[in-house]
Structure 1
Amino acid sequence: MRKRSIATLAAVLVAGSLCAGAPNPRAQAAGGGADDRRTPGGSATGTGSAGPESTRRESARLGVDLDTVTIPELQARMADGSLTSSALTAAYLRRIEAVDPKVNAVLRTDPTALEQAAASDARHRRGAARGPLDGIPVLLKDNVDTRDLPTTAGSLALAGRPPQRDAVLVTRLRDAGAVLLGKTNLSEWANFRATKPTSGWSAVDGQTHNPYVLDRNPCGSSAGSAAALAASLAQVAIGTETDGSIVCAAGMNGVVGHKPTLGLVSQAGVVPISAEQDTAGPMARHVVDAALTLSVLSGADARRPGDAAGLLGSPDELSRAGGLRGKRIGLWRLPELGPAVDAVMTRTAAKLRRAGAEVVEVTPPYQKRLAELEFPALLSEFHRDIDAYLTTRDGPQDLAGLIAFNRAHPAERTCFAGQELFERALAAPPTTDPQYRAARAELRDLSRRSIDETMAAHRLDAIAAPTNPPAWTTDCARGDNDIVPSSTPAAVAGYPSLSVPAGFVHELPVGLLLMAGGHQDGRLLALGAAVEHRLHAWRAPRYLPTVGDGTSAERPAGDRP
């Protein structure tokens, strides 16, 4: 997608959001509290209420509902002077103190956050706001370089001096006036260290919990970003994905996650796994917020609403169910995720059909071959790319040094001991090897054909699939219990994908993953906005301590008609 098209999408979605409003929950869930409070520096220091009560208190103080408010609504309030970025940022900092000890999603807050907010307020008073993210609090996954905060990838090996410079995407956020609120916890080394890791755990900050049910896993290496959004600890967050780390975390925590087309967002200054698949992307509670954030991350200018005017349709199309009329969506059911998830997909298909969409059943080809080829290719690419990144940082200077560091530091082994992927990557063929190059070429070809051929054969606007199974219990001894195949075709192809909330299984969120061809990010986000509005599936977490039988949850509960 051209940057101008993304700017147009952002402008149109803003108009649609202001005209029709964001989808709101039919009922706010009530829930309990927590007893300790995290300071902006990250330590537990006292007592305070958490969860829904804290949200209600902060929302009443601000005059906006932190769970449901959108960026366009916040900007309208800041433009008329009835809300300041300082007040909004302070509210999110208080939320982090009150709620995060229960969830452990925010690794650290930026001590300059309120100064950044005050600077934004001054720009708003002068009528010189820099765009839709000016004054909006944003959390960054802790594998995105920041010159003034540590960037650790969850590992003690990088926990010393911060990087020398910001990642390119951080520079773009700063230039857009966003308030960089802090860093989120993640799966250490983006879940590319051990064969059976535990998602959401890092040696730097321990385990992140799913806000819906606290003994359940948040999924994916962007676990902290997704859990923080589910708990309303920031307006938007940045995640990163190689295969599933944005979208699975979004689905399992009941929020929106967009994995952009490869190359649309610069990876410079982001701890890598593979340049052939890695991308950063926006995570939010609403599609409109994700689209606005993408416009900044990609370098588009959302303040030029005339760019490629009309390409994505009218505001009403994008904010009402009418935007689905005549759309053709291919449903890839993935029955291996279980009958309860399949029941959510059946209800989802019925809702989309009632809104005027045509839903046809599809099965993208070549999935078995993709699964055979992807992992060996990633091993070679990780060795190459992590060696290059480590030379920019203090600490171990190559993969062999990381392996030695982990062997020498017991704290790196307090949840799971293995580093089998590191060891296998060290021994993998180099990326100059002919066999590796042939495998990557086949991967690229088959993954793109799996989507392109399916869309062409059925004349589709998008392919849809369940994003995730119900969250499994977090268990360091067992590791993850995940079966998440839906992210792979778009991840390997470098095509965009978008997860939006679809429903619940036994209190646990399930997402709907939408995917389309390369550079179709704008059209996919526009379709996602219409799907989001029609499904109306979001509800606030209740921070339940446990539910169900442990590893899966098979009976549907709480999915709205």
Structure 2
Amino acid sequence: MTIRKSAPLAAFSLLLAIPAFASPGQDVLAQLERIAALDDDGPRLNAVIVQAEPDKAAAEARAAAAAGLPLRGRTVLVKDNIETREFATTAGSLALANNVTRRDAPLIANLRAAGGVVLGKTNLSEWANIRSDDSTSGWSAVGGLTKNPHAIDRNTCGSSSGSGAAVAAGFAWAAIGTETNGSITCPASINGIVGFKPSVGLVSRTHVVPISSTQDTAGPMTQSVKDAAMLLTAIAGEDPADAATLGIPRVADYATGLDEFSLDGVRIGVMRGQIGNREDVKAVFERSLDDLERAGAVLVDIEFAMNNAIWDDSFTILLFELRETIGEYLRSIPEMEGGETPRSLADLIAFNTANADSEMRWFDQGIFEQAESTTDREAYEKARANALRIAGPETLDKLFAEHGVQFLVAPTRGPAWVSDLVNGDHFNGSIGFGSPAAIAGYPHLTVPMGAVEGLPVGISFFGAKWEDHAVLKAGAAYERARTATLPTPSFKRWKPAE
């Protein structure tokens, strides 16, 4: 683990603006200095858990650029539930504090082969926010509470909280997050960046601490849609160890055609019932719709109510698959030094109970305990079939077909709420339409669309399964047409505009 050194306080104000970098080696050193000044000192964002050795990372970046590899030494921070050979993979839990596997997840091997440089690991909501209903997003026992760069008393959302905050703060060119249901798109929206949850199967899940074999995927978190497409191209690929990645339609370069794509005549469904109950969010969203219309899109208003049976069925999927997949993962890791190695969900529950002061001061492990007792395979298989049918054929596919639209749009989430370790998260459940895409495994892109009282909000684009390239092209076209002024991180506590 690298010991970080803080930048001089006199330089602090110069670090607030997101810098433009000149060369791969200089990028690495400047970004690591920025992490030291803003993550470990100053506002102390707690977005980055561990970082690369400066000289080694700079040399890797220069070598990748000299070799002409696609990413040319661009830096990427990796969510700490994805294995990289040089760092421990903790999922934010002290139970895995010494989980040094010396393995690269296939998606990380792909990243390196494409010329990307792993700059470090990002904090996350512990166990990707599947431990308790009462959790505070962005907190882990390993990394503490991640702060939002736009307002450091505000939340970073989802489980890829550190990845979202790190990109917003300019700590790296990009970050990789993971999503089961909202954990890329929500932190991207709330931190004012682009986040893309690809179709399940585009990116390997091997050596990624799991929740759900049905819904889990990794994906890019970046400053622009084109950067997200570049990173997706780098990390995507078949993996014999992950059957979901085999024999599916792929695009060689997801950035191809993004600059030229036109929305002229493209029919887009507007999910009116999912705009939510906040007039300020609605106003920002309406401006984004105006931008889409000026770009030539044909907007089709859609009123739709979800089949509520999906929620219990989806939760059953997560509970059953969590117990199975986390056990499979834990049995795959080498023996850890300095303590027993957990090999099952039951072992994790026992560890948390034995270490309650550090692990369960703020919230319990109620979902873990539910998952441990969810063992009825017949009920699980029935719930999985129901949830996939409702989310895919009966919701997304039906909306695309009945309304003759290629994409659907809605606000991603509302603005960030005040972080509260005592009472937990404060989601506004009336805003957004991300769950069907998460459950069905369809693509979901969020792009910044403006702000409410200086707090970022994003617009979501949804497409049919395997239409990832089309969704990225639509998002890039909106990005060019966007008229809203986007907020920049203040690295201070939120206060009302004067």
Same fold (TM over 0.5): yes
Match for residue 442 of structure 1 among 363, 376, 386: 386
Structure-2 residue corresponding to 1:104: 46
> Any unmatched runs of 5+ in structure 1?
1-39, 60-64, 67-82, 301-306, 549-556
1:462 aligned to 2:407? yes
Distance 2:445 2:255 in 1: 17
Distance 2:36 2:280 in 1: 36
Alpha-carbon contact 2:258-2:476 (below 8 Å) kept:
no
1:130 aligned to 2:69? yes
Alpha-carbon contact 1:42-1:107 (below 8 Å) kept:
no
In the superposition, the TM-score normalised over structure 1's length comes to 0.80
One-letter identity of the residue aligned with 2:207: G
| Cα distance, 1:266 vs structure 2 | 0.1
Alpha-carbon contact 1:142-1:151 (below 8 Å) kept:
yes
Structure-1 residue corresponding to 2:2: 41
| Cα distance, 1:143 vs structure 2 | 0.3
Alpha-carbon contact 1:51-1:542 (below 8 Å) kept:
no
Are residues 324 and 50 of structure 1, via their aligned partners in 2, closer, same or farther at CA, if it must alter by over 3 Å? farther
Structure-2 residue corresponding to 1:36: none
Structure-2 residue corresponding to 1:140: 78
Q: 1:417-475 CA deviation, whole Å, 9 max, x = no partner? A: 30000000001124xx2221011001111101211111111111210111111111100
| Cα distance, 1:499 vs structure 2 | 0.4
Are residues 44 and 476 of structure 1, via their aligned partners in 2, closer, same or farther at CA, if it must alter by over 3 Å? farther
Match for residue 442 of structure 2 among 471, 486, 495: 495
Structure-2 residue corresponding to 1:325: 264
Distance 2:2 2:183 in 1: 26
Match for residue 403 of structure 1 among 334, 341, 349: 349
Alpha-carbon contact 2:190-2:413 (below 8 Å) kept:
yes
Q: 1:460-515 CA deviation, whole Å, 9 max, x = no partner? A: 12101111111111001110111355210100000000000011111111110111
Structure-1 residue corresponding to 2:423: 478
| Cα distance, 1:350 vs structure 2 | 1.5
Alpha-carbon contact 2:4-2:36 (below 8 Å) kept:
no
Structure-2 residue corresponding to 1:281: 219
Match for residue 280 of structure 2 among 315, 328, 340: 340
Aligned residue for 1:245, secondary structure, equals coil
Distance 1:52 1:535 in 2: 29
| Cα distance, 1:100 vs structure 2 | 1.3
Alpha-carbon contact 2:258-2:477 (below 8 Å) kept:
no
Between 1:489-498 and 1:434-443, the stretch displaced more is 434-443
1:543 aligned to 2:483? no
| Cα distance, 1:115 vs structure 2 | 2.1
| Cα distance, 1:265 vs structure 2 | 0.1
Alpha-carbon contact 2:254-2:469 (below 8 Å) kept:
no
| Cα distance, 1:328 vs structure 2 | 1.3
Alignment of 1:334-413 (within 5 A): 334-393=274-333, 394=336, 395-413=341-359
In the superposition, the TM-score normalised over structure 2's length comes to 0.90
Match for residue 260 of structure 1 among 177, 180, 198: 198
Alpha-carbon contact 2:456-2:487 (below 8 Å) kept:
no
| Cα distance, 1:161 vs structure 2 | 3.9
1:424 aligned to 2:370? yes
Aligned residue for 1:276, secondary structure, equals coil
Are residues 370 and 308 of structure 1, via their aligned partners in 2, closer, same or farther at CA, if it must alter by over 3 Å? closer
Are residues 314 and 181 of structure 1, via their aligned partners in 2, closer, same or farther at CA, if it must alter by over 3 Å? closer
Structure-2 residue corresponding to 1:75: none
Distance 1:262 1:232 in 2: 28
Distance 1:211 1:367 in 2: 37
1:94 aligned to 2:33? yes
One-letter identity of the residue aligned with 1:511: G
Alpha-carbon contact 1:471-1:508 (below 8 Å) kept:
yes
Aligned residue for 2:9, secondary structure, equals coil
Distance 1:310 1:266 in 2: 17
One-letter identity of the residue aligned with 1:386: I
Distance 1:388 1:311 in 2: 32
Distance 1:316 1:373 in 2: 40
| Cα distance, 1:543 vs structure 2 | 1.9
> Any unmatched runs of 5+ in structure 2?
239-249
One-letter identity of the residue aligned with 1:326: G
| Cα distance, 1:197 vs structure 2 | 0.5
Distance 1:85 1:247 in 2: 28
Alpha-carbon contact 1:155-1:412 (below 8 Å) kept:
no
One-letter identity of the residue aligned with 1:106: V
Alignment length (residue pairs): 473
Between 1:241-250 and 1:433-442, the stretch displaced more is 433-442
Aligned residue for 1:97, secondary structure, equals helix
Distance 1:271 1:50 in 2: 38
1:197 aligned to 2:197? no
Distance 2:416 2:127 in 1: 21
Aligned residue for 1:181, secondary structure, equals strand
Alignment of 1:285-304 (within 5 A): 285-299=223-237
| Cα distance, 1:416 vs structure 2 | 1.6
